[in-house]
C-alpha cells in the first residue's frame, strides 16, 4: 500500500462525518488533514531515505565559501566496539581501551568521568576533544505503587521523551517500554502522545539509551532497597526489584514504523549489545504503508510484530486512528498476511484498546472475529481497557464485565484473546502523559520532582497496559 495521494481519498468525507455524528463520534474525531498526511510522509521519508551526497565544491566563479565549523565527534554510545577500538588506537592507546569504553557504556556509564578503567590522560583528552557518551539525563521520574517506573529523559536539544520500566509481579522480569519519536504525527484520538505534537525521530543511540537508563533506575532502587534491608528495615512486604531487562517493547511515544532507519539498528543493539532475546522484543505499529510486508518481513530478527487495530471496521477505525484513512484496514491485514508468509510464520499480535461505548460491544467483538478469521495469521488479540488521560480525552474505560464479555465473545468465535491489566496507574502511565504534563508545567517551572512521586492521575494507557501484556 501507498499513502493515498488525492485529497478525496485521504480526507474525511461528508458521508463519514455524518456517520460519525450518528455514532456520536464527532466530538472526538480528529481532523486528518493534507498537512498531517504530508507530515507523516515526511517522517517516513526521513526514516528510509539515503542521504544525498553533498554537492561538489562551488564553481570557480563563485566566491569561496567560509570554512564550515568542524562537526562534533560522534557520540560514544553510537559507536561500535570496533569503532571505539580504532578511536583508542588513533589516540595512542591500546585497542583494549576501546573495549573498556564499550563495555563500561553498555553497563551504564553516562559520562566520560564514569567510564571505568581508562587512563586519566585519555579520559581528559576525550573530554577536551568534545567527545560525549550521549546519554540523555533523567529529567524526572514517576514511580507507581506497583513498581512501574516512568522516566522523562531530556535530550541534547531540550526535547523530552518517556521510557518506562515495568517489573513483573514476581520480580522475575523487567519489561522496558521505549519511545521511537519525540511525540507522534499519527494523532490517534485516544492517545496522550498524539495530543502532545510531533517534533522529530529519535536516533538509534537515543533509543538504546532509554533501555540503559531504565535499567540503571531499577539498579539504583534495588541497591537502595538492599541497603534498607541490611539496616534492619522490614522487607517482607516489598516487591522484588528486577535489574535485568528481559523484554523491550516499542510501545512508547511515536510510531516506530516511521523511524525504521533508527529502530531496526536499535533492535539489533538491544539484542546483541544489551542481551535481550530477539523473541522478547516487540515492535508495535498502528500501520504505515510499505513497511510491514516489505522492510519488516525482510528482517532476520525474530521480534514480535504487534499491530494496533482498535476497531473492527474501516469506518470506526478512521475515527480512532486518523491515518487509517490512507491505509485501509483490508490493506493493513493483507500486509500482515504477507508478512506472516514472507517471514516463515512469524507471529503477529493485535492490540485493541477497549473504549467504553465506542468499540466494546458484542457486535464489535463479532465484527472483529469475522475480520480476523478472513486471514490465516494464527494471531492473538490483546484487549487493553482504556484508562483516562485526564482532561485530554472524552473516552472512558469499559466496565470490567464488558471487557470480559468482549474477550469471551472473541474466544468463543475461535479468536484467542486476553484482557490485559494496566500497570503504573498512579504514575501517569499513559503513553505521552508525563511529557504532556511537563509541557503544561512549562520550562520555567523546572523539572518535576524526582522519584518517588505519585502523580495521582489514575492514567494507565495503551503503552503501559500493552507492555504489561508481556509481564
Ligand atoms: S497510539 Fe501510537 S501511533 Fe497513535 S498517536 Fe499514540 S504513539 Fe502515535
Ligand 1, pocket residues at CB < 6 Å: 184, 186-188, 191, 193-194, 253-255, 286, 431, 462
Lowest mean pLDDT among 58-67, 198-207, 225-234, 429-438: 58-67
Whole-angstrom distance, CA of residue 145 vs CA of residue 148: 7
Reading the block at residue 8, the C-alpha cell is: 478525496
Given pLDDT bands bounded at 50, 70 and 90, which one contains residue 195? confident
Tell me how far the alpha carbon of residue 240 lies from the centroid of ligand 1, in angstroms: 32
Reading the block at residue 182, the C-alpha cell is: 519525540
Tell me how far the alpha carbon of residue 321 lies from the centroid of ligand 1, in angstroms: 8
Domains annotated on the chain, with CATH: 76-128 (no CATH), 136-230+239-468 (3.20.20.70)
Between these two residues, 54 and 140, which has the higher pLDDT value? 140
The 10s digit of each residue's pLDDT in 4-50 is 333 323 322 333 333 333 333 444 444 555 665 665 565 555 553 32
Q: What is the pLDDT of residue 392?
A: 59
Whole-angstrom distance, CA of residue 369 vs CA of residue 442: 45
Question: Active site includes 431?
Answer: yes
The 10s digit of each residue's pLDDT in 292-330 is 999 999 988 889 999 999 999 999 999 999 999 999 999
**Active-site entry in 93, 162, 206, 318:** 162
Asked if pLDDT for residue 250 goes beyond 90, the answer is yes
Reading the block at residue 334, the C-alpha cell is: 493483507
Lowest mean pLDDT among 91-95, 221-225, 374-378, 445-449: 445-449
Instruction: Tell me which residue has its CA closest to atom 3 in ligand 1.
Output: 255
Longest dimension (CA), the chain: 80
Nearest-atom number in ligand 1 for the CA of 254 is: 7
Of 102, 104, 158, 110, the closest CA to residue 132 belongs to 110
Ligand 1 site-directed mutation target among 186, 308, 350, most atoms within 8 Å of CB: 186
Tell me how far the alpha carbon of residue 181 lies from the centroid of ligand 1, in angstroms: 10
Residues 6+ apart with CB under 8 A from 264: 295, 299, 301
Nearest-atom number in ligand 1 for the CA of 462 is: 1
Reading the block at residue 128, the C-alpha cell is: 577536551
Whole-angstrom distance, CA of residue 152 vs CA of residue 433: 10
Nearest-atom number in ligand 1 for the CA of 253 is: 7
Distance of CA 241 to the CA centre of its chain: 23
Of 292, 271, 143, the closest CA to residue 207 belongs to 271
Given pLDDT bands bounded at 50, 70 and 90, which one contains residue 458? very low
Q: Which helix (H) or strand (E) holds 95?
A: helix 95-107
Nearest-atom number in ligand 1 for the CA of 252 is: 7
Cα pseudo-dihedral 96, 102, 107, 111, rounded to 10: 110
Tell me how far the alpha carbon of residue 254 lies from the centroid of ligand 1, in angstroms: 6
The 10s digit of each residue's pLDDT in 64-116 is 567 777 787 899 999 999 999 999 999 999 999 999 999 999 999 999 999 99
Of 142, 163, 259, the closest CA to residue 208 belongs to 163
Of 198, 184, 188, the closest CA to residue 29 belongs to 188
**Active-site entry in 177, 191, 336, 431:** 431
Tabulate helix, strand, coil % of the chain (nearest 5). 40, 10, 45
- Where would I find the H helices in 149-259? 192-195, 204-230
Ligand 1 site-directed mutation target among 184, 263, 321, 352, most atoms within 8 Å of CB: 184
Between these two residues, 146 and 437, which has the higher pLDDT value? 146
Reading the block at residue 380, the C-alpha cell is: 492473538
> How many other C-beta atoms lie within 10 A of the C-beta of residue 345?
11
Q: What is the pLDDT of residue 18?
A: 31
Residues 6+ apart with CB under 8 A from 64: 58
Q: What is the pLDDT of residue 173?
A: 96
CB 385 within 8 A of CB 397: yes
For residue 109, cis peptide bond before it (omega within 30 degrees of 0): no
Q: What is the mean pLDDT of residues 246-263?
A: 97
CB 324 within 8 A of CB 289: no
Reading the block at residue 267, the C-alpha cell is: 533492535
Asked if pLDDT for residue 242 goes beyond 70, the answer is yes
The 10s digit of each residue's pLDDT in 362-371 is 999 999 999 9
Lowest mean pLDDT among 89-103, 420-434, 436-450: 436-450
> How many other C-beta atoms lie within 10 A of the C-beta of residue 44?
22
Cα of first residue to Cα of last residue in the chain, in angstroms, is: 34
Rounded to two decimals, what is the model's pTM? 0.82
Q: Which helix (H) or strand (E) holds 105?
A: helix 95-107
Given pLDDT bands bounded at 50, 70 and 90, which one contains residue 449? very low
Asked if pLDDT for residue 3 goes beyond 50, the answer is no
Instruction: Tell me which residue has its CA closest to atom 4 in ligand 1.
Output: 188
Q: What is the mean pLDDT of residues 187-201?
A: 88
Tell me how far the alpha carbon of residue 238 lies from the centroid of ligand 1, in angstroms: 34
Beta bridge partners of 142: 150
The 10s digit of each residue's pLDDT in 128-175 is 999 999 999 999 999 999 999 999 999 999 999 999 999 998 999 999
Of 265, 213, 275, the closest CA to residue 283 belongs to 265
Instruction: Tell me which residue has its CA closest to atom 7 in ligand 1.
Output: 254
Whole-angstrom distance, CA of residue 324 vs CA of residue 319: 9
Amino acid at each position: 500500500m501507498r499513502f493515498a495521494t488525492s485529497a478525496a481519498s485521504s480526507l474525511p468525507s461528508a458521508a463519514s462525518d455524518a456517520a460519525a455524528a450518528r455514532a456520536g463520534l464527532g466530538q472526538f474525531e480528529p481532523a486528518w488533514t493534507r498537512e498531517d498526511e504530508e507530515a507523516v510522509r515526511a517522517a517516513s521519508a526521513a526514516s528510509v531515505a539515503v542521504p544525498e551526497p553533498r554537492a561538489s565544491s562551488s564553481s570557480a566563479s563563485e566566491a569561496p565559501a567560509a570554512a564550515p565549523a568542524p562537526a562534533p565527534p560522534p557520540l560514544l554510545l553510537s559507536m561500535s566496539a570496533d569503532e571505539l577500538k580504532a578511536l583508542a588506537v588513533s589516540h595512542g592507546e591500546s585497542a583494549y581501551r576501546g573495549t573498556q569504553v564499550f563495555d563500561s557504556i553498555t553497563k551504564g556509564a553516562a559520562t566520560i568521568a564514569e567510564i571505568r578503567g581508562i587512563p586519566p590522560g585519555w579520559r581528559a583528552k576525550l573530554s577536551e576533544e568534545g567527545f560525549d557518551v550521549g546519554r540523555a539525563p533523567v529529567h524526572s521520574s514517576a514511580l507507581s505503587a506497583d513498581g512501574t517506573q516512568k522516566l522523562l529523559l531530556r535530550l541534547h536539544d531540550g526535547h523530552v521523551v518517556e521510557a518506562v520500566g515495568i517489573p513483573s509481579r514476581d520480580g522475575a522480569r523487567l519489561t522496558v517500554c521505549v519511545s521511537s519519536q519525540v511525540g507522534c504525527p499519527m494523532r490517534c484520538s485516544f492517545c496522550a502522545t498524539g495530543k502532545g505534537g510531533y517534533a522529530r525521530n529519535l536516533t538509534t543511540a537515543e533509543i538504546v539509551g532509554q533501555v540503559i537508563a531504565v535499567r540503571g533506575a531499577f539498579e539504583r532502587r534495588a541497591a537502595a532497597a538492599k541497603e534498607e534491608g541490611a539496616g534492619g528495615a522490614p522487607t517482607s512486604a516489598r516487591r522484588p526489584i528486577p535489574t535485568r531487562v528481559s523484554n523491550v517493547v516499542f510501545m512508547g511515544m511515536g510510531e516506530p514504523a516511521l523511524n525504521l532507519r533508527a529502530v531496526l539498528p536499535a533492535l539489533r543493539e538491544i539484542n546483541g549489545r544489551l542481551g535481550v532475546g530477539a523473541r522478547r522484543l516487540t515492535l508495535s505499529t498502528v500501520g504505515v504503508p510499505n513497511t510491514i510486508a516489505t522492510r519488516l518481513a525482510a528482517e532476520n530478527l525474530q521480534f514480535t510484530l504487534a499491530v494496533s487495530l482498535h476497531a473492527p471496521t474501516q469506518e470506526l477505525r478512521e475515527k480512532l486512528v486518523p491515518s487509517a484513512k490512507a491505509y485501509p484496514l483490508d490493506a493493513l491485514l493483507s500486509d500482515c498476511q504477507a508478512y506472516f508468509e514472507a517471514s516463515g510464520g512469524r507471529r503477529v499480535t493485535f492490540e485493541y484498546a477497549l473504549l467504553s461505548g465506542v468499540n466494546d460491544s458484542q457486535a464489535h467483538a463479532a465484527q472483529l472475529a469475522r475480520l480476523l478469521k478472513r486471514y490465516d495469521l494464527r494471531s492473538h488479540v490483546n484487549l487493553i481497557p482504556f484508562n483516562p488521560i485526564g482532561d485530554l480525552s472524552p473516552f472512558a474505560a469499559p466496565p470490567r464485565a464488558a471487557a470480559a464479555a468482549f474477550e469471551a465473545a472473541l474466544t468463543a468465535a475461535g479468536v484467542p484473546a486476553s484482557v490485559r491489566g494496566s500497570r503504573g496507574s498512579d504514575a501517569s502511565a499513559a503513553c505521552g502523559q508525563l511529557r504532556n504534563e511537563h509541557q503544561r508545567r512549562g520550562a520555567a517551572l523546572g523539572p518535576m520532582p524526582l522519584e518517588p512521586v505519585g502523580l495521582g492521575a489514575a492514567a494507565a494507557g495503551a503503552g503501559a497496559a500493552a507492555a504489561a501484556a508481556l509481564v
